[in-house]
Amino acid sequence: MRIQTLSPIVALLSVLLIPLVSHAGDIRIGLTEALTGPASQYGVPIQNGFLLARDEINAKGGVNGDKIVLIEEDERGKKEEAINVYKKLIFQDKVLMIFGPTLSNSMFAAGPIANLAKVVAFGTSNTASGITDIGPYIFRSSPMEADVVPVTLRTAIKHLNIHKVGIIYGNDDAFTKSGYDVFRKSLEELHIPVVDTETYAKGDVDFKAQLTKLKAANPDAIICPCLSEEGANILLQSRALGIKQSFIGGNGFNSPKLVEIAKAAAEGTIVGSPWFDGNPSVQNQHFIAAYRKKYGTDPNQFSAQGYDALFIVAEALKKIKLTGQLEQDRQALRDVLPHIQIDGATGKFAFRPAPEHAIKPGGYDANQTPFVYIVKNGKFVLLK
Amino acid sequence: MLAQQIVNAISLGSVYALFALGFTLVFGILGVINLSHGGIFMLGAYAALLLVTWFDLSLWIALPAAMVFSGLVGLLIDVLILKRLRQRGAPHLMPMIATIGAAILMTSLAQGVFGSEARRFPMEWFNDETLKLGTITIPLLQAGITSLALVLMVLMMWVLKRTRLGQALRAIAESPRSAALLGIPVERLFHLTSFIAAALGGTAGILIGLSFNAITPFMGQPMLHKGIAAIILGGLGDVRGAVLGGLFLGITEVFAVTFLSSEYRDALSFGLLFLMLLWRPQGLFGASATRSA
Amino acid sequence: MDWSSWWATYSTLVLSIGVYGLMALSISLTLSCGLLSLANAAFMGIGAYVSAVSTLQYGLSFPSALLLGTLAPSSVALVIGVPVLRLSGVYLAMATLGFGEVVRVVALNLDITGGPLGLNGIPLFTEWWHVLLSVVAVLLLLQALRHSRIGRAFEAIREDETAARLMGIATHRIKLLAFVLGAAIAGLAGGLNAHYTFTLSPGNFGFENAVDILTMAILGGIQGLLGPLLGGAIITLLPELLRSLQEFRMAANGVILIAVVLFLPHGIWAPRRLARWLKKRSKHADA
């Protein structure tokens, strides 16, 4: 009896005390994503993408003979936890660099820690503007909305007859709000008036009030910088209310789930995104097949970006000789990373320096051409 | 457009009302703000989803089964947690915190088991037809939810007003001690109330799951906030008030969107709630304060 | 691990323990007066935003920013306290939760708070001794308060408000004092927090935080001043300690909450229980 009650405690302790077994030739890299809490719906696919890439790289003998070891930590989508995890990875686990965190707000909190410690912080899902202004050690492979949206809009205008639009977006979320800001700016530049703007809050499931109002304003298309979770509900409810117009989505709309859930309601939806599941390139088709085999579900844009990010860093590691002097190695990685180019699951990838702000040098943003595609007969089809 | 918005308001409000019904029942009878009601709401949705997708049951068997399951979860919380606190005569802060713990536990388990991605029932499992009256569209499912909320409310009011059971429950709501002196099996009725309230909460979750792509481990939290607002507007512990409060909240939100701007919807509804508490803490429809107030 | 790398790893955690200790003290102040107010997270948010805007946008010095961050929420508390404190029990809890939502929605819609993106690039000003000094100062203040006439009035109100009023205690004013002082402490904690986490967003001070803070105070116990500090430390450390449970670590958090309410109703640090226990022991020894 006594032993029984103690056994979970013993199990817990033994888990806590197992030392990290590592070999001399291991390259230790931190990976911190939101694995619990609401943001885990993005964090988990990202982590899955990374683990797949790690297995593939190590199966082929690693980088210059060294295996990549990912030290995974949950940051719960909370700023203080992101800071704590960053400090643990940098000062205690002594990693070479860090991937993550998931949310832009968390990167704003944790990024400065890495930058002060002169360690590369590499975000794969942070799209808010200003992230790379934190400093020269901040990298991201996720193109900013500001790069994706103008392309999406111009392509959409070319194919549809758009003179005025309506917008619906979530105004309590950094991701959807910054998407909205960029759409607004692009629309102004293209001189397209917005006839109605509606907002919703996280956790809303019923959008009919806002959509009824949008319908009455009669726009030519509806812009929805939303996440696919709300997006599917918005599409379904719009069609039920008799809204026939096309929807134009941002980064968050790009998920196989959208079509899977909304089905016919998603027809005609135009999406701009760095990743396209129908992209026939060898790398992408291999990635999709391998992901399905390993996890039994379809990958999304977030997993593709995680997957590619590890290959970007592996490419950089091939070009440097690790000395075992942590500070020196961290700096060497930082210096070679900006010049890396790969052709991955998300297509051709390169970095570009963040626009110079004031006196502070910035980090590196993604330099990638987004795909723009439309839903036709239940499939994403590329729009040129 | 206005006619459509009124339909929208009633359909949104009836979802709030259905959730608030069980929430207010526990407060009225047990004198406890059960903050795990959102968790039960979520588990009900998952239970129905699992029965339909894993065990291939028909919706008509899965729905009552999931209702009973939610009820049992509520009963379990009552037996394991609330009963002990009652026996100890703990101040009402304690059940609030314990039920927050239960809600965290449920959310976390659901996330561990099902993941955090939103799910919905497979489309072929339910009817997504709409009723068209001129320019107004009413999804049949929504009409069903609204009618169900009203039927359940009338049923609950009838039980409370007209039956022996209801008499006993009202006696407990007045004072559990004197009810016990009258020979009413107070503990058993506490259990029954917890069961019914949780079954109602679970039903609300199932219906939301049927109507929207919204089954996530976190779906209970926002609903809990709306539920709190609804029962305060209607009067804490009052069954009729909960339903009217839910409808009132739905109407306020939709009209804020229609006549003002959707940006101010939440500020308006919570501001209203705040003012209401200052001006009429017993709620719009509540007659008198309950014993724990 | 040597001292400097330990500090480099855990400094934020240590600062958070202090800051959340302040938050737990702030809510225990209102609780000790019998007020179930859940507005403390919102007051912390007001303090954090006001002080961060002061340093970030107006270039004020850190001490004056902290001062403003303390004054702003207490003035808000003064204004809303007059009507809100007429409520009691769950009604007060609900009203203060509603107030928290109002604050969150305001922060989402204002330009100066950065909307949902929040404020970023807040300078790193908070040092360990700022936090230590604040905790010590607040402890001394609360200790003095406990042993003053006001402290006894708190207790009288908590035990029986009507009786306290009949005894000639200006209950409304005393409750308002507890509410305003609690808000000031929360604002100070918010200002400190903003200046070591680099960023603020409206979601940081919502319902979940209000509940966390309440939990800290209840877990630690509100009979003594050490209880809230202890509760703050445990709740802050718990997610770190439970890291190896991975996706189930929040489940452990929930279980702990339930267990404390069921088995440790007065919290971990309960001087009266300890005193009773010691008395019993000595009686045994005498016999």
Q: What does the pLDDT read at residue B126?
A: 60
Could you tell me if the ipTM is greater than 0.85? Answer: yes
Q: What does the pLDDT read at residue A51?
A: 96
Least confident of A205-209, B118-122, C129-133: B118-122
Asked if A61 and A42 sit in the same domain, the reply is yes
User: Residue B108 is nearest to which of C91, C94, C251, comparing CB atoms?
Assistant: C251
B143 contact A CB<8A: no
Residue carrying the six token digits 């103690």: A6
Inter-chain residue contact C101 with B270, CB threshold 8 Å: yes
Is residue C106 very low, low, confident or very high in pLDDT (cuts 50, 70, 90)? confident
Pick from A273, A306, A324: which residue ends a domain? Answer: A273
Question: Does residue A2 lie in a domain region?
Answer: no
3-state SS of C191-205 is HHHHCCCCEECHHHH
Q: Is the pLDDT of residue B257 over 60?
A: yes
Structure tokens at C124: 């790193």
Give the count of domains, chain A.
2
A33 contact C CB<8A: no
Distance, in angstroms, between B140 CA and closest chain C CA? 33
Name the pairing type of β-strands A221-224 and A165-170. Answer: parallel
Per DSSP, chain B holds a count of helices (H) and strands (E) of: 12, 2
Q: What does the pLDDT read at residue A4?
A: 44
Residue A15: its chain C contacts at CB < 8 A? 244
Question: Does residue A184 lie in a domain region?
Answer: yes
Please provide the size of chain A in residues: 384
Q: How far out from the chain centre does Cα A331 lie? A: 25
C-alpha–C-alpha distance, residues A306 and C52, integer Å: 33
User: Residue C204 is nearest to which of A16, A79, A87, comparing CB atoms?
Assistant: A79
Interface test with C, best of A13, A35, A108, A116 (most C CBs within 10 A): A108
Answer whether C123's CB lies under 8 Å from C55's CB. Answer: yes
**Tens of pLDDT along B189-211?**
999 999 999 999 999 999 888 88
Q: For residue A101, which phi and psi values (nearest 5 degrees)? A: -75, 180
Q: What does the pLDDT read at residue C1?
A: 60
Q: What does the pLDDT read at residue B125?
A: 59
C-alpha–C-alpha distance, residues C119 and C199, integer Å: 5
Of C51, C25, C26, residue with least CA distance to C193 = C51
Question: Does residue A151 lie in a domain region?
Answer: yes
Inter-chain residue contact B214 with A36, CB threshold 8 Å: no
Of B10, B93, B29, B41, residue with least CA distance to B224 = B41
Inter-chain residue contact C101 with B88, CB threshold 8 Å: no
Q: For residue A248, which phi and psi values (nearest 5 degrees)? A: -120, 120
Question: pLDDT over 70 for what percent of chain C?
Answer: 97
Of A359, A361, A343, A341, residue with least CA distance to A351 = A341
Nearest CA in chain C to A132: C121
- C partners (3+ CB pairs within 8 A) are A, B
C-alpha–C-alpha distance, residues C48 and C45, integer Å: 5
Answer whether A274's CB lies under 8 Å from A371's CB. Answer: yes
User: Amino acid letter at B144?
Assistant: G
C204 contact A CB<8A: yes
Helix, strand, coil percent content, chain B, rounded in steps of 5:
75, 5, 20
Q: B56-77 b/e with 16+ CB inside 10 Å = b? A: ebeeeebbeebbebbbbbbbeb
The answer to whether the Cα torsion of C118, C121, C125, C130 is positive or negative is positive
Helix residue spans in chain C (DSSP H): 3-31, 40-58, 62-84, 89-109, 128-146, 149-159, 161-166, 171-194, 207-220, 226-241, 249-263, 271-286
CATH number of the structural domain C3-286: 1.10.3470
State chain C's mean pLDDT as an integer. Answer: 90
Cβ neighbours around A277 below 10 Å, total: 23
Asked if A35 and A111 sit in the same domain, the reply is yes
Of B73, B21, B22, residue with least CA distance to B46 = B73
Inter-chain residue contact A206 with B221, CB threshold 8 Å: no
Provide DSSP, B214-273: -B-TTTHHHHHHHHHHHHHHH-TT-HHHHHHHHHHHHHHHHHIIIII-GGGHHHHHHHHH
Q: Is the pLDDT of residue B290 over 80?
A: no
Asked if A53 and A124 sit in the same domain, the reply is yes
Asked if A348 and A227 sit in the same domain, the reply is no
Inter-chain residue contact C202 with A12, CB threshold 8 Å: no
Helix residue spans in chain A (DSSP H): 2-17, 40-59, 79-87, 104-116, 145-159, 174-189, 208-217, 228-240, 256-262, 282-295, 301-318, 326-336
C-alpha–C-alpha distance, residues B242 and B21, integer Å: 6
Ranges in chain A, pLDDT < 70: 1-24, 357-359
Range of the domain at A202: 146-273
Answer whether A142's CB lies under 8 Å from A312's CB. Answer: no
Q: What does the pLDDT read at residue B289?
A: 42
Cβ neighbours around A278 below 10 Å, total: 13
CA dist A75 to A35, A85, A105, A107, A155, Å? 7, 7, 12, 11, 37
Asked if A257 and A187 sit in the same domain, the reply is yes
User: Amino acid letter at B237?
Assistant: G
Asked if A212 and A317 sit in the same domain, the reply is no
Residue A112: its chain C contacts at CB < 8 A? 121, 124, 198
Nearest CA in chain B to C109: B263
pTM summary value: 0.88
Pick from A273, A294, A324: which residue ends a domain? Answer: A273
Structure tokens at A129: 């503007």
**Hey, where are the domains in chain C?**
3-286
- What residues contact residue A129 under an 8 Å CB cut-off, 6+ apart? A144, A145, A146, A178
Q: Average pLDDT, stretch C112-139? A: 93
A203 contact B CB<8A: yes
**Tens of pLDDT along C44-100?**
999 999 999 999 999 999 999 999 999 999 999 999 998 889 888 878 888 888 888
Asked if A151 and A255 sit in the same domain, the reply is yes
Helix (H, G, I), strand (E, B) or coil at A159: helix
Asked if A182 and A291 sit in the same domain, the reply is no
Inter-chain residue contact A177 with C115, CB threshold 8 Å: yes
State chain B's mean pLDDT as an integer. Answer: 87
**Tens of pLDDT along A191-233?**
999 999 999 988 888 999 999 999 999 999 999 998 878 888 8
C-alpha–C-alpha distance, residues C199 and A106, integer Å: 8
Inter-chain residue contact A261 with B208, CB threshold 8 Å: no
Q: Average pLDDT, stretch B65-82? A: 96
Pick from A273, A297, A321: which residue ends a domain? Answer: A273
List, in sequence order, every residue forming a beta bridge with A122; answer none if it has no partner.
Answer: A99, A139
User: Amino acid letter at A65?
Assistant: G
Least confident of A10-24, A218-232, B33-47, B89-103: A10-24
Asked if A254 and A304 sit in the same domain, the reply is no
Cβ neighbours around B282 below 10 Å, total: 20
Asked if A151 and A129 sit in the same domain, the reply is no
Interface test with C, best of B277, B288, B292 (most C CBs within 10 A): B277
Question: Does residue A9 lie in a domain region?
Answer: no
Q: What does the pLDDT read at residue B286?
A: 62
Answer whether B139's CB lies under 8 Å from B130's CB. Answer: yes
Q: For residue B206, which phi and psi values (nearest 5 degrees)? A: -60, -45
Which own/partner pairs from C147-155 qualify as long-range (CB within 8 Å, at least 24 positions apart)? C150/C174, C150/C177, C154/C32, C154/C33, C154/C34, C154/C178, C155/C32
Q: Average pLDDT, stretch B150-156? A: 86
C-alpha–C-alpha distance, residues A84 and A110, integer Å: 8
Cβ neighbours around A260 below 10 Å, total: 14
Q: What does the pLDDT read at residue B292?
A: 36
User: CATH number of the domain that A319 lies in?
Assistant: 3.40.50.2300
Q: C60: buried, middle or exposed (CB in 10 Å: 19+, 13-18, 0-12)?
A: middle
Inter-chain residue contact B293 with C91, CB threshold 8 Å: yes
Is residue C285 very low, low, confident or very high in pLDDT (cuts 50, 70, 90)? low
Inter-chain residue contact B222 with A203, CB threshold 8 Å: yes
Residue carrying the six token digits 């009035």: C153
Of A121, A171, A92, residue with least CA distance to A364 = A121
Provide DSSP, A247-279: EEE-GGG--HHHHHHHGGGGTT-EEEES--TT-
A260 contact B CB<8A: no
Asked if A127 and A194 sit in the same domain, the reply is no
C105 contact B CB<8A: yes
Distance, in angstroms, between C121 CA and closest chain A CA? 7
Answer whether C132's CB lies under 8 Å from C18's CB. Answer: yes
Answer whether A103's CB lies under 8 Å from A81's CB. Answer: no
